[in-house]
Amino acid sequence: MLIDRHGSSLLLIDMQERLLPAMDDAGRLLDNVVWMVRIAQRLSVPVSICEQNPKGLGATVQALRDLVPAQAIVPKMHFSCVTEGCLETVAGLQRPQVVICGTEAHICVLQSALDLQSSGKQVFVVADCIASRDPSNRLIALDRMRQQGVIVVSREMVAFEWLGAAGSDEFREISRTFLR
């Protein structure tokens, strides 16, 4: 099954000021997630952000906060974004597909992905847009999510599936801007 831009949303999990620096290859992760958000916005795919305990871990990093409206950012205390029902208030998450980026892969990303899938969503985790402090935990999380039926993709897979075809002005613009 392909990711449909009209039927999907992008969910960012815990890309926060005090947490992100502890992640393996944090700079690359942030660059990749910003790239995903910018493509999603260009293609009118809704973007939402969950923040784990923002009083303790800080707000979402500025580079991402600058890209989304404040009402698209929701706090949580549970590791899963689904447990508290916080996603019910954000636009786009009524869509059947959810594309996930964020941290930590083996905790909040994993638990949210499995809960979203259990709630009937088709869940896609972007492998090059998730991280953990220890890279081995990221790999274990990807294996477990695959075993549970979560679909693991790359950021380029998402972009090309959202685009669907070449030849349009939209494809040329995204190709020039993002796919060099």
Q: What is the pLDDT of residues 74-116, one digit of tens each?
A: 999 999 999 888 788 787 888 999 999 999 999 999 999 999 9
pLDDT at position 30: 98
Q: What is the pLDDT of residue 64?
A: 98
Q: CA 27, CA 29: separation in Å to the nearest integer?
A: 5
> Alpha carbon 143 to chain centroid distance?
18
- Model confidence over 40-54: pLDDT tens digits? 999 999 999 999 999
Average pLDDT over residues 9-18: 97
pTM: 0.96
**Exposed e or buried b for every residue in 59-88, given b needs 16+ CB within 10 A?**
bbbeebbebbeeebbbebebbbbbeeebbe
Residue 161 lies in a domain: yes
Helix axes 155-163 and 169-178, enclosed angle (nearest 10): 160
Give 110-151 pLDDT, tens digit per residue.
Answer: 999 999 999 999 999 999 999 999 999 999 999 999 999 999
Number of domains in the chain: 1
Q: What is the pLDDT of residue 54?
A: 94
**Residue 1 falls within a domain, yes or no?**
no
DSSP code of residue 109? I
Rounded (5°) CA angle 150-30-107: 40
Residue 157 lies in a domain: yes
CATH number at residue 49: 3.40.50.850
Asked if the structure places residue 30 within a domain, the reply is yes
- Residue 117 falls within a domain, yes or no? yes
Q: Which residues constitute the domain of residue 92?
A: 8-178
- Domain annotation covers residue 3: no
Is residue 57 situated within a structural domain? yes
% the chain with pLDDT above 70: 100
> Does some domain include residue 167?
yes
Question: 170 vs 89, which has greater pLDDT?
Answer: 170
Going by the DSSP 8-state scheme, the letter that residue 67 receives in this structure is: T
